[in-house]
Structure 1
Amino acid sequence: MTTMESRSIEQVVDSSRYPLRDPGGAGWNTVVSRARRELREHGCSVLPGFVRSEFLAELRDECAAIAPSAYYDVETVNVYNAVPDDTLPADHPVRISMERGNAFVPRDTIPESAIIHRLYRSPLFRHFLATCVDLPAIHELADPLAGLCLNVVNPGRSHPWHFDTNEFAISMLTQEPDGGGVFEYCPNIRSASAENLDDVRAVLTGRGGHLIRRMSPRAGDLQLFRGRYSLHRVGTVTGRAQRHSAIFAYSGRPGVLGTVARTRQLFGRVAQSHLDAEGRAVRVDQLLD
């Protein structure tokens, strides 16, 4: 990363609260300790005001400019974004259908000069995140579409219950809706070795309210979340404004790509790398997806 890029990232981030350039310093350790504790206890940690207030309008405008290029396809999905299996019991989570009405702008259409793209590529940012999630290193997804994307939710639409492909999700709200769009999640509802279908089924059928936590982040807040093992959704957006959030996808293992089916579902297309990796994609576990 060039000196100019480094300086630019440090200008955008509130370095007095989040000193990316001072690993091991007192401020760094305070933030990291809190993030680790909240992730361990609640499966989620929010770093408020990560982006300086004077850059919030630029952040919003950059993402609003690319939002019209999102791939829209209202469709019926399940919590795993997997092909339904009619041989399973009728109440198996794979066979519980939901309508997905959100849309995604893929990485290859996000300008490299955009704040969210510069953050995603920043070694300073990546090292800070790796420390927060207690890993020796994290890697950009090998996926040319899903590594970085903008999630767009129109008024009247929602992003239904789902799990992520990667172990943890890093996201940032870039445009708040007028109303609704509440983030709901069930921390650590499954593990790398156990699907815990009973609890997942309870949430999907409206009987798992006691498992659900809710939060409404603000624009510029950074959210760290164990999305591989925590069921989550964005509730219905109300009012006139869309809800925009950047999703920074990293993994503890290099080479992670989405499946052909899931990639086509989310972006309407696949890259050659998805086709080449089909059937031998890198995964951190053997869960349904």
Structure 2
Amino acid sequence: MLTAMQLADAERHDLSNLVDTERYPLDRPDDPTLLAAIEEARADLDREGCAVLRGFLREDRLTQMREECQELASKSFYNTREVNAYFTADDPALPEGDPRRLFMTRTSGFVTRDMITADRIMQRLYVSPAMKSLVARCLGEDQVYEYADPYAGLVLNVLPEGTEQPWHYDTNEFIVTMMTQAPEEGGVFEYCPDIRTPQDENYAGVGAVIRDEDRDRVRRLNLRPGDLQLFKGRFSLHRVTRVEGATPRLTAIFAYSQSPGVVGRLERTRQLYGRVSELHIQAEQDRAERADGLLD
């Protein structure tokens, strides 16, 4: 019944019925246990561009969230296309070995936020002030904001057998994810910390990684269902390797931004989700060039 149903609430600070608050006491911001976890996450992000809060979700809620994600996965939009790491078109004027001309097959599925109802654990976590506060503190930000994008911000990524996410960057400087179901084989998260900067795309280094000529700077992350991952994907090339076996890889993606009102790029939204809204069209018309000057 609705009276017994917990809904996403942007004013609810107490996540004790979802999160393992023995390890992460979000309702006690100055608790030494929480402060130690935040300090460790900050250090990992500074050093590696990535931090993992192990066992973030309560075990019973992980089971529930996995079941919710399995149900949502049936609504996924799947798209297969050839993309480079920047989601840009081919430029024949560039040398063949340039990473902007290295195209990879991307096949993955997404369930967008407008399909994820307010009673889902994903939504309840995403809108919670306690969750946003934790993410901001780990990243050293004063505040983080939900996306204004009606599709992105909160999505479920679905990778069934034979699919993968090839090397790419994120549009946002950071991303927060939680795998809810691991595949039988494959589906490994790999990344290259800070392979580019706002001043240098480092095309030579990026190309060597994509061509599999340089594995020295590639890190492999052992993620487990229920772990919360914070990742600086704007500057770190990353991918999810091919999934093998009948069990799909399911991952909740919580996208926050450093400023309010963020809406995804028009063409990237079309590629990822198969549709755009009037808001995306208007935002593209109004969009100024990115301040950091990077290609994507």
Q: TM-score range by the shorter chain?
A: over 0.9
* 1:52-81 CA distance string (max 9 Å, x none): 111111010101111111111111111011
The residue type equivalent to 2:50 in the other structure is C
Q: Distance in 2 between matches of 1:285 and 1:4?
A: 33
Comparing 139-148 with 242-251, greater Cα deviation is found at: 139-148
Instruction: Name the SS of the counterpart of 2:69 in structure 1.
Output: helix
Distance 1:156 1:126, change over 3 A: same
Look up the equivalent residue of 1:163 and give its one-letter code.
Y
Superposition CA RMSD, Å = 1.6
| CA offset digits 1:136-184 (Å, max 9, x no partner) | 1111112111111011111111111110011001000011111111110
CA distance in 1 between partners of 2:46 and 2:215 (Å): 21
Distance in 2 separating the partners of 1:21 and 1:164: 31
- Structure 2, unaligned runs of 5 or more: 1-7
Distance 1:97 1:116 in 2: 33
1:115 aligns with 2:118: no
Q: Distance in 2 between matches of 1:82 and 1:198?
A: 18
Deviates most, 81-90 or 238-247 = 81-90
- Please say if residues 80 and 94 of structure 1, whose CA atoms lie closer than 8 Å, have aligned partners that are also in contact: yes
Q: Is 1:188 matched up with 2:215? A: no
Moved over 6 A (4+): none
Aligned pairs (5 A) from 1:72-83? 72-83=78-89
Q: Secondary structure at the match of 1:171?
A: strand
Residue 36 of structure 1, CA deviation? 0.4
Aligned residue number for residue 209 of structure 2: 203
SS of match in other structure, 1:60: helix
- Report the alpha carbon displacement of residue 6 of structure 1 after superposing the two structures with TM: 4.0
Deviation at 1:196, TM superposition (A): 1.4
> Which residue does 2:141 correspond to in 1?
135
Identity rate, percent? 45
Q: What is the aligned partner in structure 1 of residue 258 from structure 2? A: 252
Residue 151 of structure 1 aligns to which amino acid in structure 2? N
CA distance in 1, matches of 2:140, 2:276: 32
Q: What residue is the counterpart of 1:266 in the other structure?
A: 272
Which sits farther off after the overlay, 252-261 or 201-210? 252-261
Query: Is the Cα contact below 8 Å between 1:175 and 1:244 reproduced in 2?
Result: yes
* 1:168 alignment partner AA: F
- Decide whether the 8 Å contact of 1:186 with 1:231 is kept in 2: yes
How far, CA to CA, are the matches of 2:29 and 2:256 in structure 1? 20
Structure 2 residue 218 is matched with structure 1 residue 224: no
> Residues 211 and 31 of structure 1: is their aligned pair in 2 closer, same or farther, counting only changes over 3 Å?
same
Residues 47-66 of structure 1 aligned to structure 2 (within 5 Å): 47-66=53-72
| 1:71 and 2:66 aligned | no
In structure 2, the CA distance between the partners of 1:2 and 1:153, relative to structure 1 (3 Å rule), is: closer
Deviates more, 1:250-259 or 1:86-95: 86-95
C-alpha distance in 1 between matches for 2:177 and 2:169: 14
Equivalent in 221, 232, 237 of residue 215 of structure 1: 221
- What's the CA shift for 1:89? 2.5
Equivalence for 2:294: 287
TM-score, reference length from structure 2 = 0.93
| Structure 1 residues not aligned, in runs of 5+ | none
Q: Secondary structure at the match of 1:29?
A: helix
2 CA distance for matches of 1:71 and 1:134? 34
CA distances 1:117-140 after superposition (whole Å, capped 9, x unpaired):
111101110011000011111111
Indicate if the aligned counterparts of 1:256 and 1:281 stay in contact, CA closer than 8 A. no
CA distance in structure 1 between the aligned counterparts of 2:30 and 2:47, rounded to whole angstroms: 23
Moved more, 69-78 or 16-25: 16-25
Q: Structure 1 length as normaliser, TM-score? A: 0.95
1:38-49 alignment, distance < 5 Å: 38-49=44-55
SS in 2 for 1:132: helix
Deviation at 1:284, TM superposition (A): 5.3
SS at match of 1:200: helix
